[in-house]
Amino acid sequence: MKDLITDFTSGVRLIQLLEIIGNEPLGRYNPNPRLNVQKAENINTALAFIKHRGILLHNIGAGDIIEGNLKLILGLLWILILRFTISEINEEGLSAKEGLLLWCQRKTAGYPGVNIKDFSSSWTDGLAFCALMDRHRPDLIDFDELDKSNHKKNVSLAFKLAAEEVGIPQLLDVEDICDVKSPDERSVMTYVAYWFHAFSALDKIETAGRRLEKFVDVTSSALTMQHNFEKRMKVLIQSIKKTQESWAKSEFSGTYSDAKLQSSRFSEYKKTTKREWITEKSELASLLGNIRTKLATYGLREYVPPEGLRLQDLEQIWRELISAEATRSRAINNTMRQIKEKLRKNFADTANELSLSLDTVSLKISDLEGELEKQLEGITILSDQLKPLDRMLADLKKLDDQCLEANVEENDYTVYSLNELEYELGLAKQSVVKKLAFIENQIVARSMTNLTPIQLEEFESVFRFFDKGQRNSLQESEFSGALASLGLVYSEEEMHQVFVVASGGNSRVSFEEFIKFMVEVTEDQQTAEQVYQSFFDIANGKPYVTELDLQNSLIPDSMIDELKNSMPLAKGANESEEEGVSLDYVTYMSQLTGVNGHK
C-alpha cells in the first residue's frame, strides 16, 4: 500500500485486506480489473463481505472508492478498525470504546497523576502509556522514577518499549500526542487497542472471562439473528403475496391513460420494490449462512427455520412471483395495443364522416343557381348544416389528443388528419359566408337603379376589399378607408359624423347602407347644399373663389363670364393678375338660396 486514494480503486487490495483481517476467503474476484464495472464488482464483493460480518455501512458505495473519495475511504477503514481491532474488546459487559476505556482505567488505577477520561487529552503527558507498561511489564520500566513534567520523554519511552520489547507497532509519532492539545481520538483508540490485545493475553483469568462473556454473547446473538431471520422472512413473503393478489384483482378502465398509469406503476415496482426484495432475499440467505456458521463455530446445534420460512419456501414463492409478473406484463401490453387500435378506428370513422360532410357542402354551394331569393334560402340552409360539423371537429380534436397521448402516429383507416380537416372546414365556412354576402349584396345592388353597372361594380369591389373580417359590414376605420379610396376624404370629426349617419347610429355599416350612402353622395341632385359644397371644394376651403379656381375646375369660359357678372366681388381678398378676380360665393349662395355655408 502506497496511496489510500488510488490503491483501493480496483477493489483487489480491499478484498485482500478483508481476507487477512477477517481470516476467511471472499470467493472469486477479478485480479486485474481494467473497466470500472469490473472494479465496481470487486468493491461490491468486499462491501458485501463487510455487511455479511454484521457491519452496517452508510453513505458509501463502489463509485465513491473508484473516484478516490478520501473522506469516505478513511471512514470505511475506521469502521474496519473498529470492527476487527476494537469491537471484540469487552470489559464488565461493555464493548468497543467503552470497554477499552474501562480496561485502561482499571489497569492504571492507583498510579499517581494518571486520570484516563478519554482517548485524547488524557494521554498527552505520556504517564498513561507508562502506567500500562509498568502494570504489565514492570521489568521494563520504573514508573516512580519518571520525570512527570517531561511529556515527550515519557511518551517516547513508552512507544519505544512497546515496539521493541512487546512487539506493538508504533502507529503514532511522539508529536501526534505531545504537540497538540487534543490528540486524534480514533488514532489513540486504535493504538491503545494494540496495547490491549498485547497485554490481555498475559492475563488468563481475564481471557477466560472474556471467552465466557463472548460465548454468552454469541448464543444471545445467534438467537437474535434467528428471530430477525424469521421476522424478515415473514414480511418478505407476505409482501410478495399481497402484490400478486393486487395484480389479480386489478382491472383496466379502457382508457390509454389508465393503462399507461398501470404500466408506469409496474415499471416502478420492478425498479424499486422488486430490487428491494431481491436484496432482502440475498441478505436473508446470507443471514441464514451467518447463523449456521456462528453456531457451527461454537459447536452449537444447527438452526433449521420453521416450515414456510425456509429458503426453499421463499424460492417457490419467488418462482410464482416471476410467473405473475409475466402475466401482468402481457395484460398491460395487450390492453395498450387494443386501446391504440380502437383509437385509430374511432379517429378514422369521425375523420371520414367529417370529410364526406364537407364535400357535400362544397358541392351544394357550387350547385346554387336560379333566383337570388331561392339561392339565399339555399345558402342559409347550408350555413345551418355547418354547425354540427364544429361539434364533429371538436370530437376529432379529442380523439387526436388521445392518439398523441398513446403515441399513435400511423393510421391505415383514413387518409385525413385533424389539421387538413380543420383547414377544409374553415374554407367551407368562408365559402358559405362569402356566398351569403354575395347573394345579399346582389339583392341590394339590384334595387339600386340610380347607379350605373360600372359604379355598382366599383362600390361593391371597394366594400369587399375593406371588409377584412368578411362580415359583410364595415367598422368606422374600414368605412373611412373605403371612402378615401373612392376620393371622399373627410376630417376625423367629419368622418365620425358621416359614419354615424351612414350606419344609422350602429357600430358597423352594412353593404346596403354603404351603397345607399354612395348613391346619396354621387347622385347629381343639384340641391343648394350640393352647389354650395361644390363652390367650397373648388375654392379649396376659402370663403371666396378666384377666376383661376374656376378655370382649374374645367368650367367653360362662357359660364365663368356669367358667374363674374352675377356674383359679388369678395371684400378684402388679395387679387393678382394671375388669379384674376375674387368672387364672394358665400354671399352669392345666401342671396339666391338662403344657404349659409357658415352654418
Q: For the residues of 281-301, what is the DSSP string, one character each?
A: HHHHHHHHHHHHHHHHHTTPP
Mean pLDDT of 371-376: 74
Does 99 score more than 90 pLDDT? no
Q: How high is the pLDDT of residue 450?
A: 56
What digits encode the pLDDT tens for the residues 505-521? 899 988 778 878 887 77
Indicate the pLDDT class of residue 372, thresholds 50, 70 and 90.
low
Q: How high is the pLDDT of residue 120?
A: 92
Does 69 score more than 80 pLDDT? yes
Does 447 score more than 70 pLDDT? no
Q: Measured between alpha carbons, how far is residue 255 from residues 3, 268, 277, 414 in Å?
A: 60, 20, 31, 22
> Which of 94-108, 212-226, 512-526, 579-593 is predicted with the least confidence, judged by mean pLDDT?
512-526
Q: Which helix (H) or strand (E) holds 444?
A: helix 418-447
Indicate the pLDDT class of residue 6, thresholds 50, 70 and 90.
very high
Q: Residue 247 and residue 328: Cα distance in Å, rounded?
A: 7
Q: Residue 99 and residue 105: Cα distance in Å, rounded?
A: 10
Does 525 score more than 60 pLDDT? no
Q: How high is the pLDDT of residue 445?
A: 61
* Percent of the chain whose pLDDT exceeds 70: 90
Mean pLDDT of 124-141: 93
> Which of 378-387, 420-429, 454-463, 496-505 is predicted with the least confidence, judged by mean pLDDT?
454-463
What digits encode the pLDDT tens for the residues 179-195? 888 899 888 988 998 88
Q: How high is the pLDDT of residue 598?
A: 45
What digits encode the pLDDT tens for the residues 405-419? 888 888 888 898 999
Does 599 score more than 50 pLDDT? no
Selected residue with higher pLDDT from 382 and 177: 177
Does 397 score more than 50 pLDDT? yes
Q: What is the mean pLDDT of the chain?
A: 85
Domains assigned to the chain: 12-86 (1.10.418.10), 90-202 (1.10.418.10), 341-439 (1.20.58.60), 452-593 (1.10.238.10)
> Residue 447 corresponds to which cell in the numbers above?
334595387
Q: Residue 134 and residue 142: Cα distance in Å, rounded?
A: 7
Closest CA to 524 of 440, 595, 451, 598: 451
Mean pLDDT of 326-330: 93
Q: How high is the pLDDT of residue 364?
A: 77
Indicate the pLDDT class of residue 310, thresholds 50, 70 and 90.
very high
